[in-house]
Amino acid sequence: DAGVIQSPRHEVTEMGQEVTLRCKPISGHDYLFWYRQTMMRGLELLIYFNNNVPIDDSGMPEDRFSAKMPNASFSTLKIQPSEPRDSAVYFCASSPMGSGGETQYFGPGTRLLVL
Amino acid sequence: GNSVTQMEGPVTLSEEAFLTINCTYTATGYPSLFWYVQYPGEGLQLLLKATKADDKGSNKGFEATYRKETTSFHLEKGSVQVSDSAVYFCALSDRMDSSYKLIFGSGTRLLVRP
């Protein structure tokens, strides 16, 4: 069974450009989480969805960040415009309903570098 | 509010040494507690969990006991291997808070030398 799939694995872009990160959760999982990991701030929850509906986006740093989940098998995290301080590893995770969102399965991450 | 505090790393050990990584928590309700592990270049993986006081979670030789009286969930392993080198995250999920968030500690890097 495939795990959480993220693309791209690496992204290098210039300040001001739009960046779109993609995630395919594990089939049958009802929760989807987006995290950001940096050396300075550690692992931060940005937003999470339940059954494709955004439940808590209080971790989204500012209006430049947006996330969507148009269906159960796909989610995007978009940064527009990007800034150097957005450089980080972005993780997507999914969780089955039975675990109450507690047992999360992480993707390999997207390493973003904004120049 | 809810929070998790881990010992700062890195922790450097020789192979076959005993490992302890300390974790304490603050929670307003009745949390479940977790240890996640992140190997280099990968996402986090669930290592073990415990859902109520005095429960012991175990996996791959690692153990942690949910101690409500000391609000702790320390990770232990009797004999570490080079392949255990990774970053270990303690986390909690407070079931009184229905937001289904995991609150992670800052992570502790473990380096095991041959």
Q: How is residue A63 annotated by DSSP?
A: T
Which of A43, A101, A102 lies at the smallest CB-CB distance from B104?
A43
Please answer whether residues B48 and B34 qualify as being in contact, where contact means their C-beta atoms are separated by less than 8 angstroms: yes
Query: Nearest CA to A43 among A106, A99, A94, A101?
Result: A106
Residue B97 has pLDDT above 60, yes or no: no
Residue that wins the pLDDT comparison between B88 and B94: B88
Residue B54 CA to residue A64 CA, distance in Å, equals 44
Contact B3, B103 (CB under 8 A): yes
- Of B86, B58, B61, which Cα lies nearest the Cα of B73? B58
Residue A1, pLDDT score: 63
Closest approach of A2 to chain B, Cα-based (Å): 14
What is the rounded CA–CA span in Å between residue B101 and residue B94?
Answer: 8
* Nearest residue, CB atoms, A108 vs list B43, B95, B99: B43
Beta bridge partners, A78, equal: A20, A66
Q: Cα separation of B48 and B65, whole Å?
A: 10
Decide the pairing of beta strands B11-14 and B19-21: unpaired
Angstrom distance (rounded) from CA B112 to CA A15? 39
Mean pLDDT of A68-96: 96
- Best A102, A103, A110, A111 member to test B by mutation, with max B CBs in 10 Å, is A102
Six-digit token string for A64: 């430049």
DSSP category for residue B97: S
How close, in Å, is residue A42 to chain B by CA atoms? Answer: 6
Q: Does B43 touch chain A (CB under 8 A)?
A: yes
Residues A4-20 have a mean pLDDT of 97
Interface A:B, Cβ pairs < 8 A: 51
Tens of pLDDT, residues B45-66 = 999 999 999 999 999 999 999 9
**Are the Cβ atoms of B44 and A50 closer than 8 angstroms?**
no
Q: How much is the average pLDDT of B60-87?
A: 97
Most confident of B3-12, B28-37, B67-76: B67-76
Does position B99 have pLDDT exceeding 70, yes or no?
no
| pLDDT at site B4 | 94
Strand B19-21, strand B75-77: pairing: antiparallel
Residues 6+ apart with CB under 8 A from A70: A52
β-pairing verdict for B56-59 and B62-65:
antiparallel
A67, B14, B83, A41: which is closest to A58 by C-alpha?
A67
**Percentage of residues of chain A with pLDDT beyond 70:** 97
| Tens-digit pLDDT profile for residues A85-105 | 999 999 999 998 776 667 899
> Looking at A24-28, A62-66, B101-105, which range is the least confident one?
B101-105
The torsion angles phi and psi of A6, rounded to 5 degrees, stand at -125, 145
What is the least distance, in Å, from the CA of B83 to any CA of chain A? Answer: 18
Residues B100, A105: C-beta atoms closer than 8 Å: no
**Token pair of A57 as six digits:** 């986006």
B4 touches chain A (CB under 8 A): no
Cβ pair A91:B34 closer than 8 A: no
